Amino acid sequence: MSAPKEDDDFDQLVDIGAYHHYQDAILYDYEYRRRRKDIRFYTDLATRKNPDRDSPILELACGSGRVSAGLLRAGHRVLGIDRSAPMLERAQARFQKMGRAHRARVHLVRADMRKFRVGQKVSLVISAFNSFEHLYTRADFEACLRSIHSALSNDGVLAFDVQNPDLEWLIRNPTKRWAKTTFLHPVTRTKIIYTTNHFYDPVSQICLIRIYYKPQGDDKTEQIINLSQRKFFPAELEGLLWANNFRVISRFGDFDGEPLSGDAESQVILAQPR
């Protein structure tokens, strides 16, 4: 992809990228089916924070229920919030397969993570798999933190992960295709060639990503999915949390508890109201 020529084009692509990747929930689940470390991390954290399972875990941008399912299997109650109807439908289908006892402990709500209300205080709010990267502006971030603050108990914990910005990756040539792989589509079983590229705007710190799916041997049919992500640098993120009445209590570079370093792929953050 090339750089957008006008601000309106850029803003429109950001808006599209907020939901486009989540329209095909079956393909989404298939692509990330091997992602497990974050499920273990958040489940272990929930068990330490809420050993008696007496308070529901609030998951923001719960998506297709990948992490929520792990929490349910560990005996927790879950309140899941997401604004994508296809992802919530996929989550419901996932939970239907888990049995009555699990289904009774989960409640899903279609809502925006920037403005939500829950009817009780919770001890843990989680937001997994870079979901905070859909908070594109300071106003978005502040609105989300206000809602979280109102939902957390005084000693409650906010836990989330975002990518650790990789400058070398961000400034890649946006006209070239990267990450070429092939896979069988989970529904059609067609062999698909996957490639991607992106454009990064260093002022807004937003990355516009395009994901290309082309059936092998078919040069005329190619599906393009847009994804937009706001990148947060470590010191900036800590400052934003502090300015919104949160303090960082732990910060890791991966889901094994290693310290955050410059070459870590993720920033895993635990914060408390202050």
DSSP 20: G
Per-residue confidence of the chain (274 residues) as pLDDT tens digits? Answer: 666 656 568 999 999 999 999 999 999 999 999 999 999 999 999 999 998 898 999 999 999 999 999 999 999 999 999 999 999 999 999 999 999 999 999 999 999 999 999 989 999 999 999 999 999 999 999 999 999 999 999 899 999 999 999 999 999 999 999 999 999 999 999 999 999 999 999 999 999 999 999 999 998 899 999 999 999 999 999 999 999 999 999 999 999 999 999 999 999 999 999 9
Spatial strand order of the sheet with 246-252 comes to 106-110, 78-82, 57-60, 122-127, 152-163, 266-273, 246-252
**Taking the domains of the chain in order of start, what are their residue ranges?**
35-164+233-273, 166-230
CATH 3.40.50.150 correct for 35-164+233-273: yes
Q: What is the pTM of this model?
A: 0.95
Give the integer Cα–Cα distance in Å for 31 and 178: 16
Query: b/e for 50-74, b at 16 or more Cβ within 10 A?
Result: beeeebbbbbbbbbbbbbbbbbbeb
pLDDT on residue 135: 98
- Structural contact between residues 86 and 22, judged by C-beta atoms closer than 8 angstroms: yes
